[in-house]
Amino acid sequence: MTGATALGAAALGGVGGAWLQRLADAARLPPEASPRALLDDASGLNPTPVRGLAFADASPEVTADRLAPLLGRIAAGQEPSLAVSGARHSMGGQSLLRDGWVLDALPLNGMTLDPAAGLMRVGGGALWRDIIPALNAQGFAPTVMQSNNDFTIGGTLSVNAHGWHANSPPVASTVRRLMLLTADGQVVTCSPEENAELFGLALGGYGLFGVILEAEIAVRPNVIYAPDFAVMPTRDYPAAFAARVYAPGSPVEMAYGRLSVDPDRLFEEAVLGCYTPVPETRGTVMPLPALAHGGLQRLVFRNAAAGDTGKALRWWLEREAGPWLAGAVSRNSLLNEPAAVFANREAGSTDILHEYFVPQARLGDFAEAARPIIRREEGNLLNVTVRDIRRDTRSALAYAREDMFGLVMLFVQETSAAGEERMQRMTRALVDAAIEAGGSHYLPYRLHATGDQLRRAYPAWDGVIEAQRRHDPKGVFRNGLFRRYAEA
């Protein structure tokens, strides 16, 4: 600052100093997006015009400093709110904000492993496809993550994801500490002992409580698994699962189910797959196979979208050929599969995920209720995976308030007004069926549920939103989920 400028600022006093500071801050703001700039998420159904796109840095500290001017201007009402995004695999605008700012957290990807403690410190923008090889190289693997590697750690924690891990609550249970950038620009450390309320709100908080700059998560030794499979009526699945996985001394560490997508036997049969460790392999460093690119497996999967015959073939192969072809596989290899391998590449349609959580004893009741709904709305269902989710006591917005089965359903939807209307009707009917069974629906997907349904499925919702407004009174962090259900 020259002497003349300094003298002028001094003469103007606080007003002049504040004005110069605003000029300096404005120079540090990210550029606005062009008027036609659109962002979208994995659904391909949410083209969203935004004010601008801000980028994180590899360093949490630099990221916080870089965002401080923007957060300050938002709090002062001079800029619209900010949504936090990673890989944008949500499907209903949870990582987007119309006419607002969007943070791209992907550069925030540092990671450090502490093998002695079994902990990894990882930046919120790091992708699991980078985390898994780093762990694998030292004989470790994730403790809990979703079943594909395309997502960021910040996104995983923000939706409180879960996967094939048996006898485990969602991923929040593995988090030891968070470094969170809050609405007032402060960097706060959160854990079960420190800022515990904010810790529970941020885990499963959909980015509404701040930017996850860094997380410290528990990891475990990698291991080779031997798989085995059983086929049964869906009604018998809960008992078979309990006998195989929950039995005292059971060695099963990962497990999943599939339900029949054959239209003539929809949801009537189930396959249970269990993975048991080979003890002498635990903690050893094993090669991580190259990522698959589809091949025959993709061909069979996508062929099921074409009609009933493809779906019947798909189920026959799942039930008869799958167990015969399965072989020993490492924990990391199971988890290091990209969802993109099976992604829809057809014009005029898109893949849409649903997920419903039901108490384990009510799995059959939900399947019976869901079958006529899907048939009535002509839902093009490609896959149903059943996951074991133990009770979540950590996240304020818990979807598993008791031990649950999560049913992950993949539908193909026409990208037309009629396709959207059918999907909305089917979703609302399935949400009602889940609630009637004592369960809930998952919130990272299309926002078709009504506000009443959301509050019945998530009794804590209004309390969480009250806490969000208390921690963020100026409305710095917002997204499509908030606008749909908290501002309506």
Mean pLDDT computed over 173-198: 98
Residue 34 vs residue 191, higher pLDDT: 191
Angle at 440 between CA 426 and CA 342, to 5 degrees: 60
Confidence of residue 299 (pLDDT cuts 50, 70, 90): confident
pLDDT confidence tier of residue 321, bands split at 50, 70 and 90 = confident
- Whose structure tokens read 């062929």? 303
Collapsed DSSP state (helix, strand, coil) of residue 354: strand
Name residues whose C-beta falls within 8 Å of residue 239's C-beta, 6 or more positions apart in sequence: none
Residue 323: which pLDDT band, with cuts at 50, 70 and 90?
Answer: confident
- What pLDDT score does 303 carry? 84
Which pLDDT band, with edges at 50, 70 and 90, does 28 fall under?
A: low
The reported pLDDT for the residue numbered 384 is: 97
Q: Give the pLDDT score at 4.
A: 31
Tokens at 147, concatenated: 């079943």
Can you give the pLDDT at residue 74?
A: 98
Tokens of 219: 């990891």
Comparing 175-184, 239-248, 285-294, the range with the smallest average pLDDT is: 285-294
Cβ-contact 80, 103 below 8 angstroms? no
- How far apart are the C-alpha atoms of 312 and 263, rounded to whole Å? 7
CA atoms lying within 13 Å on the CB side of residue 381: 32
The helix/strand/coil state of 298 is: helix
pLDDT of residue 371: 98
| pLDDT at residue 354 greater than cutoff 90 | yes
Cβ proximity of 96 and 85 under 8 Å: yes
Distance between CA atoms of residues 308 and 380, nearest Å: 9
Residue 138 and residue 219 in contact, taking contact as beta carbons nearer than 8 Å: no
> Following DSSP, what letter does each residue of 118-177 receive, concatenated?
TEEEEETT-BHHHHHHHHHTTTEEESS--S-S-SBHHHHHHHT---SBTT---GGGGEEE
Which CATH class name applies to 224-457? alpha beta
Q: Write down the mean pLDDT value for the chain.
A: 92
Please give the share of the chain, as a percent, with pLDDT higher than 70: 93
Domain ranges of the chain: 1-30, 224-457
Please give the share of the chain, as a percent, with pLDDT higher than 90. Answer: 83
For residues 361 and 367, the answer to whether their CB atoms sit within 8 Å is no
pLDDT computed for residue 15 by the predictor: 35
What average pLDDT does range 353-377 have in this prediction?
A: 98
**What pLDDT is recorded for position 322?**
82
What is the pLDDT at residue 25? Answer: 52
Residue of 94, 85, 107 whose CA lies nearest to 211: 85
**Helices (H) then strands (E): counts for the chain:** 15, 19
The neighbouring-strand residues paired with 351 are 412
Which pLDDT does position 460 carry in this prediction?
98
Residue 23 predicted with pLDDT over 60: no
pTM confidence score: 0.92
**What is the maximum span of the chain, computed from C-alpha positions, in angstroms?**
84
**Rg of the chain on CA atoms, in Å:** 24
pLDDT grade for 12, boundaries at 50, 70 and 90: very low
Q: Which of 175-179, 220-224, 305-309 has the lowest mean pLDDT?
A: 305-309
Per-residue confidence (pLDDT) for residue 14, from 0 to 100: 33
What are 338-347's pLDDT values in tens digits?
A: 887 788 888 9
Q: Which residues pair with 165 in a beta bridge?
A: 254
Q: Is the pLDDT of residue 187 over 90?
A: yes
Q: Count CA atoms closer than 13 A to 72's CA, side-chain side.
A: 15
* pLDDT reading at 9 higher than 50: no
Q: Token pair of 257, please?
A: 């189910």
Neighbours of 15 (CB within 10 A): 9
Report residue 17's pLDDT band, with 50, 70 and 90 as the boundaries.
Answer: very low
Q: Does the pLDDT of residue 146 top 50, yes or no?
A: yes
Q: Which helix (H) or strand (E) holds 297?
A: helix 295-303
Structure confidence at residue 30 as a pLDDT band (50, 70, 90): confident
How much is the pLDDT for 294?
A: 64
pLDDT of residue 292: 66
pLDDT tens readout for residues 188-246: 999 999 999 999 999 999 999 999 999 999 999 999 999 999 999 999 999 999 999 99
Q: How confident is the model at residue 35 (pLDDT cuts 50, 70, 90)?
A: low
Which contiguous run of DSSP H or E holds residue 113? strand 111-114
Which residue type sits at 78?
A: Q
Residue 84 has pLDDT above 60, yes or no: yes
pLDDT at 1: 35
CB 288 within 8 A of CB 136: yes
Residues ≥6 apart with Cβ < 8 Å to 476: 71, 74, 75, 81, 82, 183
